[in-house]
Amino acid sequence: MKIAFLNQFHNSAETQAYHSLRIAGERLGHKVIHCANSAEVDACSPDFVLAPASTRPKLNDFPHYGVLHDPRETYLSERQFFNNLRTHDGWLALSGTMRRFARDVAFSLGRDQEIGVYYNSCQRLDVASPLESILRERRLRIAYFGTNWDRRRARLFRMLSHEPGFAICGPRDAWKDIEPAAYCGAPPFDGQSVQAFYAECGAGLCLLSDKHFRDDVISNRVFEVSSAGALCIASAIPWLREHFGDSLYYIDQRLADPQLLKQILDARERIHADPAAALQRAAEARRIFEEKFSAEALLANAALHHARHASRRRTRLDEARQRYNPLISVIIRCGLQPVDMLCRAVESLSRQTYGRFDLILVRHHDIDLSPITAAEWPNIERMRIVESPGGNCSRSLWSGLQAIEGEYFALLDDDDWLFSNHFEELFRPFPGAPQSGFFAFSGSITVEAEARVAMGSGFDNRHLVRYGFPVSDRLEQIAGSIATNGFAASRGLLDEALLIDPEMDTAEDSYLILALVSKTTPRFSHAATSVNEVGHPGRISATIHPRRFEDLFTLHTRMSGRLHPAPGPRDAWNALREEWEHRPAAMTATGQAAEGKVVLGDNTFYLSSLEEAELRAVAEGIHIDGSRLNIGCGTLSRFRKTLTLRTPSVPWQYAAELRFKRPKTFTGDLLLRIEIIVRAGRAGLGLLAASGPDYLFRTPLRPRPEVQVINIPIEDLDKAGPLVVQTWDEPAAAELEIKRIRLLTRRDV
Q: Tell me the per-residue pLDDT of 379-395, one tens digit each, with 9 for 90 and over.
A: 999 999 999 887 678 89
Q: What is the percent of the chain where pLDDT is above 90? A: 66
- In degrees rounded to 5, what are phi and psi of residue 452? -145, 170
Comparing 357 with 664, the larger pLDDT belongs to 357
How much is the pLDDT for 453? Answer: 64
Per-residue model confidence as pLDDT tens digits over 164-212: 999 999 888 889 889 999 999 988 888 889 999 999 999 999 999 888 9
Confirm whether 303 is domain-assigned: no
Q: What distance in Å separates the CA atoms of residue 313 and residue 310, rounded to the nearest whole number?
A: 5
Comparing 86 with 543, the larger pLDDT belongs to 86
Q: What distance in Å separates the CA atoms of residue 251 and residue 240, rounded to the nearest whole number?
A: 12
Per-residue model confidence as pLDDT tens digits over 666-679: 888 899 999 999 99
| Whether 111 and 205 share a structural domain | no
Helix (H) or strand (E) holding 720: strand 720-727
Confirm whether 123 is domain-assigned: no
How much is the pLDDT for 111? Answer: 93
Whether 225 has a pLDDT exceeding 80, the answer reads yes
How much is the pLDDT for 534? Answer: 84
| Whether 188 and 41 share a structural domain | no
Strand, helix or coil for residue 136 = helix
Q: What is the CATH number of the domain that holds 733?
A: 2.60.120.260
Confirm whether 430 is domain-assigned: yes
Tell me the H-state helices in 291-435: 295-323, 339-350, 370-373, 393-401, 422-427
pLDDT band at 592 (very low <50, low <70, confident <90, very high): very low
The H helix count followed by the E strand count for the chain is 22, 31
Residues forming a β-bridge with 329: 358, 409
Whether 253 has a pLDDT exceeding 50, the answer reads yes
Whether 729 has a pLDDT exceeding 50, the answer reads yes
Q: What distance in Å separates the CA atoms of residue 478 and residue 574, rounded to the nearest whole number?
A: 18
Query: How much is the average pLDDT of 21-31?
Result: 96
pLDDT band at 12 (very low <50, low <70, confident <90, very high): confident
Confirm whether 316 is domain-assigned: no
| Whether 549 and 429 share a structural domain | yes
Query: How much is the average pLDDT of 416-440?
Result: 96
Per-residue model confidence as pLDDT tens digits over 449-465: 877 765 555 788 899 99
Per-residue model confidence as pLDDT tens digits over 552-573: 888 888 888 877 776 555 677 8
| Whether 148 and 91 share a structural domain | no
Whether 297 has a pLDDT exceeding 80, the answer reads yes
- The number of angstroms, rounded, from the C-alpha of 249 to the middle of its chain's C-alpha atoms is 33
Q: What is the CATH number of the domain that holds 445?
A: 3.90.550.10
Strand, helix or coil for residue 455 = coil
Residue 204: which domain range? 131-293
Q: What is the CATH number of the domain that holds 209?
A: 3.40.50.2000
Query: How much is the average pLDDT of 80-86?
Result: 94
pLDDT band at 589 (very low <50, low <70, confident <90, very high): very low
Contact 251, 272 (CB under 8 A): no
Name which of 58-72, 223-237, 669-683 the model is least confident about: 669-683
Confirm whether 125 is domain-assigned: no
Confirm whether 311 is domain-assigned: no
How much is the pLDDT for 3? Answer: 98
Q: What is the percent of the chain where pLDDT is above 70? A: 93
How much is the pLDDT for 637? Answer: 64
Contact 122, 227 (CB under 8 A): yes
Answer with the one of 520, 543, 558 that is the final residue of a domain.
558
| Whether 524 and 460 share a structural domain | yes
Look at the chain and report how many structural domains it folds into: 4
Query: How much is the average pLDDT of 93-110?
Result: 95
| Whether 417 and 492 share a structural domain | yes
Confirm whether 571 is domain-assigned: no
Contact 702, 664 (CB under 8 A): no
How much is the pLDDT for 566? Answer: 67
Name which of 101-110, 227-236, 262-271, 683-692 the model is least confident about: 683-692
| Whether 136 and 268 share a structural domain | yes
DSSP 399-425: HHHTT--SSEEEE--TT-EE-TTHHHH
Comparing 528 with 365, the larger pLDDT belongs to 528
- DSSP-derived letter for residue 261 is H
| Whether 108 and 142 share a structural domain | no
Q: What is the pTM of this model?
A: 0.81
How much is the pLDDT for 168? Answer: 94
Answer with the one of 240, 273, 293 that is the final residue of a domain.
293
How much is the pLDDT for 639? Answer: 55
Comparing 244 with 472, the larger pLDDT belongs to 244
| Whether 496 and 548 share a structural domain | yes
Comparing 625 with 498, the larger pLDDT belongs to 498
Answer with the one of 56, 88, 117 that is the final residue of a domain.
117
Confirm whether 573 is domain-assigned: no
For all residues of the chain together, what is the average pLDDT? 89
- In degrees rounded to 5, what are phi and psi of residue 74? -55, -45
pLDDT band at 584 (very low <50, low <70, confident <90, very high): low
How much is the pLDDT for 196? Answer: 93
| Whether 259 and 361 share a structural domain | no
| Whether 46 and 88 share a structural domain | yes
| Whether 463 and 509 share a structural domain | yes
Q: What distance in Å separates the CA atoms of residue 697 and residue 702, rounded to the nearest whole number?
A: 17
What is the maximum alpha-carbon separation in the chain? 91
